[in-house]
Chains A and B, each alone.
Chain A
Amino acid sequence: MKVIGKFIGWLCHFVGRHYKVLLGGGVVLMALYLFLSKQAEEVRGEKMDVKEIIFGHLADAYEWHVVEGVVLPLPCILYSEEQGFDVFLSDKLEHGEEYRGYHIDAESGKIVNKAGVRPLDISVTKNVAELFLVCLIVCSVVLSLAFWYRRHGYLSAPGGFLGMVESIILFVDEDIAKASIGHGYQFFSRYLISIFLFILTCNLLGLLPVFPGGANLTGNIAVTLMLAVTSWLAVNVFAPKAYFKEIFWPKVPLALKAIPLMPTIEFIGVFTKPFSLTVRLFANIMAGHIIILSLTSIVFIMWQVGDLLGFIMNFVSLAFIIFMNCLEILVAFLQAYVFTVLTANFIGMAQHEE
């Protein structure tokens, strides 16, 4: 509870200091939703499958729908033992067409060959493209902050957006890394800052409903799994001997060790930690996306039912969506914070095992 209170205190300070940037973002989001409800009027009469829409948005895709009618094709990179490498743009496979023996399976939505077997698929999908964008944003933001210090020296502090980024970095460094790990935290602090910024950028870009955003990165289990793997490595690779001794030969009565009950539990615990990290982040972000998409779908469904209902629900749903988006912005920060703070705690516990 104390940690949460501290976090909320920091968040209030942060919002107070950078309210202009945040307000700008809020206005953009609101304009987009007004635009969305106008679009809803145009689809009246069509039968819609809400479940398919929602899971279609959550799932990965080989191309990127920018707006209605504009599709950005992305490169498909495939490898199979018979054919070797195949690289082509995804527009060759549109509408179930076949290209070089590959087509997109209607049920799974993945590329398969004629026999229905999946090749090794390292295509740049929508999520991967978003991933590149996130990398670009995170790297360029931090590097521009570094360049700012190169230019201005260390005696002055940056303001505006860079000041905001700096306050985030310092928050992770001081209040997460130093507070949780203590002595020797500097070695891990860079990793913790990296995952915090990475997850935060993914979360926020995922909330952006238009083109450069919208891909559901941290709501994808592959992304959170890989983040948890890096966290597992950070905990276990640099752990001292005492940490492993505590796992395989803990200080408990001999009977609990002779039949290796405690070592088994401890050993499983080593892997449940990253598993919980994976699922927590994935489930939180995906749930937020599902709620927002459902609320958006209400507008469309109600317009199909009737004009008056559609008109009323337009505003009700809009209010809910704005509320949910605000909540999701909080969740975006909170989940990045929780993932980082838990990783830091696991590292701290491993480093200072008695």
Chain B
Amino acid sequence: MNILTPDAGLLFWMLLSFSVVFFVLAKYGLPIVLGSVQKRKEYIEQSVKAAQEANERLGGIQAEGEQLLLDARSRQQEIIAEAMAEKQKIVKAAQEEASTEAHRIAEEAARRIDAAREEALKDVHDEVAGLALQIAEQVIRQKMQDDAEQRAAVERLLEDF
């Protein structure tokens, strides 16, 4: 049948045309298209990767910041605790010093009071001695004059005492 016998002319033109189409497509058309698509694919992959990395880095920065904050807080606590301890130490030292000073002052005062009393007693002794002497002088003088008188005088003197 006519339909089943390939025509030589059409075969010839077909070979020629398809070769031309294949040559043009394979040399000038498809490399650009496929190359562009490939490049675009790579670009997209790269971009996704870069975005992921940036995201990760952002997460890292956040964590770092939090860590920093945490560190600062604990350092603050430490410093405050240290300051408190220092304060207490100072207060304690001051108290101790104050108490020793007070002690010393009290002792000094007691010592002075003792000294003053002794002096006063000594004065009193002197006075009493002087008085006794005076009285004795008076008695002796009265004795010389009158017995009764003397007796009255002694009684009077004794009453004065």
A residues apposed to B, CB below 8 Å: 55, 58-60, 108-109, 120-125, 127-128, 131-132, 134-135, 138-139, 142-143, 145-146, 149-150, 153-155, 157, 166, 169-170, 173, 186, 189-191, 193-194, 197-198, 220-223, 225-227, 229-230, 286
Would you list the 6 A-B pairs with minimal beta carbon distance, nearest first? A142-B29, A222-B6, A154-B36, A222-B10, A146-B32, A226-B14
Chain B hits for A227, CB < 8 A: 14, 18
Q: What's the dominant secondary structure at chain A's contact region?
A: helix
Q: Shortest Cβ distance from A187 into chain B, in angstroms?
A: 10
Given the interface pairs A59-B2, A220-B10, A222-B11, the reply to whether A135 lies near B26 with Cβ below 8 Å is no
CB contacts (< 8 Å) of A149 on chain B: these are: 32-33, 36
Complex contact B21–A154 (CB within 8 A): no
The answer to whether A173 and B2 have CB atoms under 8 Å apart is: no
B37-A142 in contact (CB<8A)? no
Interface pair A194/B7, CB less than 8 Å apart: no
A58-B3, A139-B25, A146-B30 given; name 4 further pairs at CB < 8 Å.
Answer: A122-B8, A169-B33, A186-B34, A190-B34
Q: A349 to B129, alpha carbons, bound, how many Å?
A: 150
Partner of A169, one of B3, B30, B39: B30
Residues of B within 8 A of A173 (CB): 34
| B28 CB to nearest A CB, Å | 6
Q: Which residues of B contact A (CB under 8 A)?
A: 2-15, 17-18, 20-22, 24-26, 28-37, 39-40, 43
Residues of B within 8 A of A139 (CB): 20-21, 24-25, 29
- Picked from B10, B31, B33, the residue with its CB within 8 Å of the CB of A60 is B10
Partner of B43, one of A58, A143, A155: A155
Known contacts A135-B21, A154-B40, A198-B18: does B26 contact A190 (CB below 8 Å)? yes
Question: Is B22 a contact of A194 with CB atoms below 8 Å?
Answer: yes
Q: Which of B4, B7, B26 contacts A191 (CB 8 A)?
A: B26
Closest chain A residue to B12, Cβ basis: A122
A198:B3 contact, CB within 8 angstroms: no
Find out whether the CB atom of B9 lies under 8 angstroms from the CB atom of A146.
no
The docked-state distance in angstroms from the alpha carbon of A121 to that of B9 is 5
Nearest CB of A to B44, in Å: 9
CB–CB B28/A143 < 8 A: yes
Q: Which residue of B lies closest to A59 (CB)?
A: B2
- Could you tell me the distance between the alpha carbons of A198 and B19 in the complex, rounded to whole angstroms? 11
A150 to B11 Cα, complex, angstroms: 35
Q: What residues of A have a CB within 8 angstroms of the CB of B31 in the complex?
A: 190
Q: Which residues of B contact A121 (CB under 8 A)?
A: 7-9
Residues of chain B lying within 8 A (CB to CB) of residue A170: 37
B47 CB to nearest chain A CB (Å): 10
Tell whether, in the assembled complex, residue B6 and residue A221 are in contact, meaning their CB atoms are under 8 Å apart.
yes
> Which residues of A lie under 8 Å from residue B13 when comparing CB positions?
122, 124, 128, 131
Q: Say which residue of B25, B35, B36 sits within 8 Å of A138 (CB atoms).
A: B25
Tell whether, in the assembled complex, residue A128 and residue B20 are in contact, meaning their CB atoms are under 8 Å apart.
no
Cα distance A124–B13 in the bound complex, in angstroms? 8
Q: What chain A residues lie within 8 Å of B20 (beta carbons)?
A: 135, 139
Instruction: Please give, as numbers and ranges, the residues of chain A lying within 8 Å of B26 by CB-CB distance.
Output: 190-191, 194
Contacts of A58 in B (CB 8 A): 3
Q: Residue B9 contacts which of A122, A150, A221 (CB distance < 8 angstroms)? A: A122
Q: Give the docked Cα–Cα distance between A226 and B7 (Å).
A: 11
A sample of 11 cross-chain residue pairs with beta-carbon separation below 8 angstroms, ordered by A number, consists of A120-B8, A121-B7, A128-B10, A138-B21, A145-B33, A146-B32, A149-B33, A150-B32, A154-B37, A223-B10, A226-B15
Question: Bound complex: CA of A190 vs CA of B12, how far in Å?
Answer: 22
Q: Shortest Cβ distance from A5 into chain B, in angstroms?
A: 25
- Checking B3, B32, B36 against A55 with a beta-carbon cut-off of 8 angstroms, the contacting residue is B3
Closest Cβ neighbor of B22 among chain A residues: A194
Cβ distance B13 to chain A, nearest Cβ, rounded Å = 5
Q: Is the CB of B9 within 8 A of A131?
A: no
B33 near A131 (CB under 8 angstroms)? no
Q: Which residue, B2, B12, B13, has most C-beta atoms of chain A within 10 A? A: B13
Residue of B nearest to A279 (CB): B4
Of the candidates B12, B21, B39, the one having the most CB atoms from chain A within 10 angstroms of its own CB is: B21
Inter-chain contacts of B24 with A (CB < 8 A): 139, 142-143
Q: Which of A194, A223, A226 contacts B25 (CB 8 A)?
A: A194
